[in-house]
């Protein structure tokens, strides 16, 4: 099968590309900066440049691109960009798009989650036959979050009671590959990590792995989404399909020398 992987340079997309190629399929990467990548096409969801070329000759799409690092561009990249991508995909007779989304976003007030929900609505609009897989937080993303809270030298202030369910991005990628090689299936069961933990215990594990001796304190964020996260909104207790635990990820990432 010939699969276009948007976001093929990202955390998840990179694994999707590798797994597809290992399985004997063609995985073409679309990226704004394709230099240095094999079988990669320059394309930008925000402007539409290169999308038609990226789609030509493809059978299916894994849509894993998102303005994760440019939140103010969420609407133009994710929502409008996806609508544009799928319109062109329809013209190119693409038979299946797999969209990667996030567990628990239906009532989340976190702005990025609102963008994801609107993008899901575009995908659900049947422009191209579709599947949507919602996953919990990738291990790498837990680190992004913790680094984001690491602004102070002596204390480490995080919202201790947030409940998260870290999952291995490679395991999510394997599930995505299985989905794209099958038939369009609509909204699929969530894919979650093996354990739900409070950010307090994830922070402690992260600090230990990195020999970080700062004092861990609670950060009280006065936002509704913070209370929602503490209530477990973005976890999926009935879907603990992932195998690799956050501590195993840390042991591999920060080996004791
Ligand atoms: N991270 C998580 O914990 C998590 C959990 C569940 C679901 N998801 C979803 O999974 C997907 C992948 O997440 P990730 O963490 O792997 O993302 P990531 O590492 O931040 O990668 C984002 C990708 O999007 C591409 N991109 C950004 N803006 C673009 C634009 N204007 N045009 C074309 N491509 C653009 C980037 O490619 P270039 O920079 O090369 O152009 C990059 O490959 C996202 O939709 C995310 O919402 C993530």
Q: Indicate the helix (H) or strand (E) that contains 2.
A: strand 2-6
pLDDT range class, residue 69, cuts 50, 70, 90: confident
What radius of gyration, in Å, describes the C-alpha atoms of the chain? 19
Domain containing 84: what range?
2-253
How far apart are the C-alpha atoms of 127 and 195, rounded to whole Å? 36
Pocket probe for ligand 1: among 27, 68, 78, 112, the residue whose CB has the most ligand atoms within 8 Å is 68
Q: How does pLDDT run across 125-152, given as a tens digit for each residue?
A: 999 999 999 999 999 999 999 999 988 8
pLDDT at 11: 98
Q: How does pLDDT run across 76-119, given as a tens digit for each residue?
A: 999 999 999 999 999 999 999 999 999 999 999 999 999 999 99
How far apart are the C-alpha atoms of 9 and 29, rounded to whole Å? 7
Q: Residue 114 belongs to a domain with what CATH number?
A: 3.40.50.720
Is residue 238 exposed (0-12), middle (13-18) or buried (19+ Cβ within 10 Å)? exposed
Around ligand 1, the residues with Cβ closer than 6 Å are 6-7, 9-13, 31-33, 43-46, 64-69, 77, 100, 102, 116, 135, 137-138, 141
pLDDT at 257: 47
Pocket probe for ligand 1: among 65, 78, 233, the residue whose CB has the most ligand atoms within 8 Å is 65
Pocket probe for ligand 1: among 36, 44, 66, 192, the residue whose CB has the most ligand atoms within 8 Å is 66
Residues recorded for the chain: 257
Q: How does pLDDT run across 4-59, given as a tens digit for each residue?
A: 999 999 999 999 999 999 999 999 999 999 999 999 999 999 999 999 999 999 99
- Residue with the smallest CA separation from ligand 1 atom 5 is 137
Question: In whole numbers, what is the pLDDT of the chain averaged over residues?
Answer: 96
Contacts of range 213-216, beta carbons closer than 8 Å, 24 or more positions apart = 214/152, 214/153, 214/154, 214/155, 214/156, 215/154, 215/155, 215/156, 216/155, 216/156, 216/158, 216/160
Give distance in angstroms: CA of 147 to centre of ligand 1.
Answer: 18
pLDDT at 24: 98
Instruction: Indicate the angle between helix axes 199-209 and 246-253, nearest 10 degrees.
Output: 20
pLDDT at 76: 94
pLDDT at 10: 97
Is residue 130 exposed (0-12), middle (13-18) or buried (19+ Cβ within 10 Å)? buried
Number of domains in the chain: 1
Q: How does pLDDT run across 70-82, given as a tens digit for each residue?
A: 878 888 999 999 9
Tokens of 147: 């680094």
Is residue 10 exposed (0-12), middle (13-18) or buried (19+ Cβ within 10 Å)? buried
Q: Above 50 in pLDDT, residue 217?
A: yes
pLDDT at 72: 80
Its pTM stands at 0.97
CB 4 within 8 A of CB 30: yes
């Amino acid at each position: 099968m010939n699969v276009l992987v948007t976001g093929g340079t990202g955390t998840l997309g990179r694994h999707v590309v590798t797994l597809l190629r290992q399985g004997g399929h063609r995985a073409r990467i679309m990226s704004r900066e394709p230099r240095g990548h094999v079988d990669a096409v320059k394309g930008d969801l925000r402007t539409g440049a290169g999308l038609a070329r990226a789609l030509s000759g493809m059978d299916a799409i894994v849509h894993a691109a998102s303005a994760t690092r440019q939140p103010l561009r969420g609407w133009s990249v994710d929502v409008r960009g996806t609508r544009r991508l799928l319109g062109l995909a329809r013209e190119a007779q693409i038979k299946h798009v797999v969209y990667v989304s996030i567990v628990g976003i239906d009532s989340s007030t976190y702005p990025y989650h609102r963008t994801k929900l609107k993008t899901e609505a575009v995908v659900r609009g049947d422009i191209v036959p579709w599947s949507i897989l919602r996953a919990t937080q990738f291990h790498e993303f837990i680190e992004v979050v913790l680094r984001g809270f690491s602004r102070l030298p002596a204390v480490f202030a995080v919202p201790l009671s947030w409940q998260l369910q870290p999952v291995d991005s490679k395991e999510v990628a394997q599930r995505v590959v299985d989905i794209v090689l099958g038939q369009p299936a609509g909204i699929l069961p969530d894919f979650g990590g093996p354990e739900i933990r409070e950010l307090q215990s994830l922070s402690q594990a992260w600090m230990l792995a990195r020999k970080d001796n700062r004092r861990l304190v609670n950060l009280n964020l006065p936002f509704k989404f913070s209370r929602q996260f503490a209530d477990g909104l973005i976890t999926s207790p009935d879907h603990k399909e992932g195998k690799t635990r956050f501590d195993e990820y840390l042991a591999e990432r920060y080996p004791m020398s």
